[in-house]
A and B are shown apart, each in its own frame.
Chain A
């Protein structure tokens, strides 16, 4: 039985929360959407229980957070997560409407998996999902393929060619290191970026 990924989405914008929820649903992810970093940490249980569960007992596979939020920024949320011995294993992706290179650098250095430019596209989300799936169960290729197939069948107008995200503006640690200064086109980053340990 293929397990759906569970994504915790954090954004103070009501409009953006609705859109990201829909993008994730279409990509066959379970979504919990909250409006602030504080709420996100509450959901995750700040002191950290035994595992990276939400208060409803659902394991969180990915945290997708906006950068600019009142109170706690996405960067501050990222830091708190990475400082927690329990939560630090959860991949965190930052979203922002502004492409500010020092900001991107800082987030990636702090351990963010990726930095997505808003508005986020379906191709970005699908790519993220596939990346997380690979990290979560690389001894179970069947699960990854199952999820993708089931997800395709559910969608009436599935167009898998949109996952060849030519124009998706994504910056990864790989891009920064190969120092292409204004990389607005994403490299097809199929390689796992990070120190993703097997969870599960």
Chain B
């Protein structure tokens, strides 16, 4: 079980789903706080639902508020970065570039990318934590 968890984690890193920050978080776990990383990640998922909904709303109708879109994405990028969600962070940056250019179609496309990477990450991390919990 432990080998499976380790191998899943390795894959997540190799495929850039996660970066070094995830390791930093794992260093903060101990016997008194054995599920710290999972708790933080779950917080990220909860927050993300709200952020994603707000971005969807902001992209739905003219006039488009690029300032607000940038703010929302800045928040999303920030929390992605805090848990080491490398690919999600990358997509957020892409979105912000289109936002700076006031390219609404670019933004919409990029946001599809953000949602896609987010969904994939969530599936993979849910699976990883399940295995990691059984391993300990």
Residues of A that sit less than 8 Å from B by CB: 12-16, 18-19, 22-23, 26, 68, 70, 97, 118-119, 121-122, 155-157
A22 touching B78 by the CB < 8 A rule? no
For residue B34, give the distance in angstroms from its CB to the closest CB of chain A: 11
A interface SS class: loop
**0/1 interface trace, chain B 10-39, chain A, CB 8 Å (1 if under):** 000000000001001101101101001001
B31 touching A156 by the CB < 8 A rule? yes
Q: How many A-B Cβ pairs are below 8 Å?
A: 54
B36 touching A22 by the CB < 8 A rule? yes
- A22: chain B residues within 8 A (beta carbon): 28, 33, 36
| In the complex, residue of chain B having the shortest beta-carbon distance to the beta carbon of A96 | B78
A119 touching B31 by the CB < 8 A rule? no
B interface SS class: helix
- Please name 17 pairs of A and B residues whose Cβ atoms are closer than 8 Å in the assembled complex, sorted by A: A12-B75, A13-B75, A15-B40, A15-B43, A15-B79, A16-B79, A19-B82, A23-B28, A68-B78, A70-B71, A97-B81, A118-B81, A119-B24, A119-B82, A122-B24, A122-B27, A157-B30
B44 touches which one: A15, A26, A121 (CB < 8 A)? A15
Residues of B that sit less than 8 Å from A by CB: 21, 24-25, 27-28, 30-31, 33, 36, 39-40, 43-44, 47, 71, 74-75, 77-79, 81-84
Q: Compute how far the CA of A12 lies from the CA of B72 in the bound complex, rounded to whole angstroms.
A: 12
Nearest 4 pairs of A and B residues by beta carbon = A15-B79, A22-B28, A119-B82, A15-B82
A155 touches which one: B30, B75, B84 (CB < 8 A)? B30
A121 touching B30 by the CB < 8 A rule? no
